[in-house]
Amino acid sequence: MSNETILNGRYLLTAQQGSGGMAVIYKATDKALGRTVAVKILRPSMTVDPQFIVRFQNEARAIANLTHPNIVTVHDVGTHTDPKGTTHYMVMEFVEGADLKRIIRGDGNGTPLPVELALHYAIQICAGIGFAHRAGIVHADVKPQNVLVNSTDQMIKVTDFGIAQALSETQPKEREAVVWGSPHYFSPEQAKGEKPSPASDVYSIGIVMFEMLTGRLPFNGTTQQELAISHVRDIPPKISQFNPEVPEELVAIVARALDKVPSARYRDAAQLGHLLISLREKLRIARMNSTYAQMPVDSSQTQPPPTPPQSSRPVEPRQQTAPPPPPNTSTAGNRTPPPMAPTLRPMPPVQQTPPPAGSNVMTQRVNAAPESYQQAPLRPQTPRMSQPASPLVAPPQPPVVEPANYYNSRPMKPQHSEPTVSRGLFDPVTLALAALALIAVTCLIPLYIAVFQAR
């Protein structure tokens, strides 16, 4: 196909990027939107069956609904007709970079990828395919050729979803011819002609991881039938036989993904991805700890501080001075009195001023306490040392005796109530009431007699 081919007057094919058993990939320009895209054109041998075309278009529409950073976005699917025939194509986003197969091959010496880089790629592959599994889509053709690596940020993009699935369901006779991808990566159930499942994609991811960590494939054969038999019967070798630097935990994870029984593998790519993420964190922490342990210790921080230089001059013994003698208590002039506690000055007695002559107003002030009590000097309070807390008891107060004057000349009533004295039965009120009752009865007797006679 020439470089000037335009599909449906919109997609201008500029260069061929790659080819596979089912399609050829071209770099193209979308003239309507002015962007670079990738166009996958199915080979004429794959477009003979109309059912396959319908199935291919349905799968393309289903994949177009998958929006994930690790899945190539599908923009369009269509058919182009010209004098040469009918062309079926799929338009996808263009990824600037190389596929994972070219990165694994490298310089052709079979050098394995570093463990950290292999985990980085495998986790992204599991993320994209696991997202498709949750949407009910099985890739059925996982291989390094369908994994694109962005050269700018090392972002993984998985492509070619559903093409092998559509082919396996519409052309059963072609299963034995291994037309749905490379026989190096398909699962044992696919080699038997069974329908692929998410566990089949897990097996293929395990093959890809084996190749990244060792630089070689677990099974080799001269024919497709030999490869199919190896996937079904042979036990894959351990990764540690070819790369001792791979951790044993990662070796066990890949070995489980390559189990012959689908139910013994991880149920989908998402579960496998979670285990790889946990393993990457463990390896990162272990690497950091080993780095800290190997860091040189600064000797300046561990040595004791330098001692000051000692003088060569002999050190004279220090004379001890005797304590001062106690003060002489015999001499009164030199004796220093001990500090006295401050004393409170007694309050002067209140002077009573006599009222002016001719005034009837009593102006005498009443003292609540006798003068003898007010004039008594207060006891000095000395600072008390720390003692255990004791309840405070108020000192007894002296009885208050007031002088007799106008206000308190009468005897004061006691504060408490006096007991009530019971009165006798014949008090004046009772006798008066009894007399009135007797008079009333005496007056009513003649009235009763008159009434009785009247009857």
Catalytic residue list: 141
Amino acid at the residue 100? L
For the four alpha carbons of 384, 388, 394 and 398, in that order, the dihedral sign comes to negative
What's the CA gap between 406 and 249, in Å, rounded?
112
Number of H helices, E strands in the chain: 12, 9
The C-alpha atoms of residue 46 and residue 170 are separated, in whole angstroms, by 11
Q: Which residues contact 104 (CB under 8 A, 6 or more apart)?
A: 113, 144, 211, 212, 215
Bridge partners for 157 per DSSP: 148
Which DSSP string do the residues of 282-351 spell out, in sequence order?
A: HHHHHHHHHHHHHSPPPHHHHSPPPPPPPPSSPPPPPPPPPPPPPPPSS-TTTPPPPPPPP-PPPPPPPP
Q: Please say whether the beta carbons of 7 and 87 come within 8 A.
A: yes
Give 68: exposed, middle or buried? Use CB within 10 Å, 0-12, 13-18, 19+. middle
Q: Is residue 24 classed as helix, strand or coil in its secondary structure?
A: strand
DSSP helix/strand/coil, 397: coil
CA distance 132 to 233: 29
> Is 167 within 8 Å of 20 (Cβ atoms)?
no
How are beta strands 85-93 and 35-42 bridged, if at all? antiparallel
Q: Are 133 and 19 in contact (CB under 8 A)?
A: no
Give, in order, the Cα–Cα distances in Å from 44 to each of 21, 84, 165, 341.
11, 11, 18, 121
Rounded Cα gap, residues 79 and 7, in angstroms: 8
Residue 145 φ then ψ, to 5°: -65, -25
Cβ-contact 66, 137 below 8 angstroms: yes
Task: Estimate the crossing angle of helix 198-214 against helix 115-134, to 10 degrees.
Answer: 170
